[in-house]
Chains A and B, each alone.
Chain A
């Protein structure tokens, strides 16, 4: 039990560390959001679960924290990504930076705004 808790704590901490490393290494804001959110979320959950194994009598409150993190952390990162997207930041691209940033996002923006009618394929449910 003790060893399992230790290992959970260690993996969680390492994931948190990798997320922060991704924050430094990734080339643009979207990738940083990806690296940061995913790793920090699972890392924190693993750490909290590890503490839960050490102190089983805290499980209910720890469950609250885990649920809260699972719910809010993707929301805040999506809201941030949306704000960045709407303020006009183009995603970084490895190969042809200038060409992609001039054509791709513009097309995406246009198709998003056309508001096509609902696909009727899934209506029956």
Chain B
């Protein structure tokens, strides 16, 4: 599917959002800041994968998005446990 102008602008905003999240990922003072930016990015990437599915007209990417979201969620939970450290 070819994207209309509005859709292209939307894709541009998604890319900009991912870039901003990546900046926070790079400069974030500590691990928690990096994780929250990675979390936000993962939600955005899930949406981006759905847009991919629309672009390639293939429902396969929807499964990818679902599994990606699940794995990102588990990852954030695991890192949060690590940040919490020894305080149970």
Partners in one complex: yes
Binding site for B on A (CB under 8 A): 2, 6-7, 9-10, 12-14, 16-17, 19-21, 23-24, 29, 32-33, 36-37, 40-41, 43-44, 47-48, 51, 54-55, 58, 61-62, 64-65, 68-69, 72-73, 75-77, 79-80, 82-84, 86-87, 89
Contact B18 A20 (CB under 8 A): yes
Contacts of A69 in B (CB 8 A): 43, 46, 69
Nearest 7 pairs between A and B by C-beta? A13-B13, A20-B20, A36-B40, A44-B47, A13-B10, A83-B84, A20-B17
Taking A12-B10, A69-B69 as known contacts, 13 extra A-B pairs with beta carbons closer than 8 A to each other, sorted by chain A number, are A9-B6, A12-B47, A17-B20, A20-B24, A23-B24, A29-B33, A40-B43, A51-B54, A55-B53, A61-B66, A73-B43, A76-B76, A80-B36
Complex Cα spacing A16 to B37, Å: 12
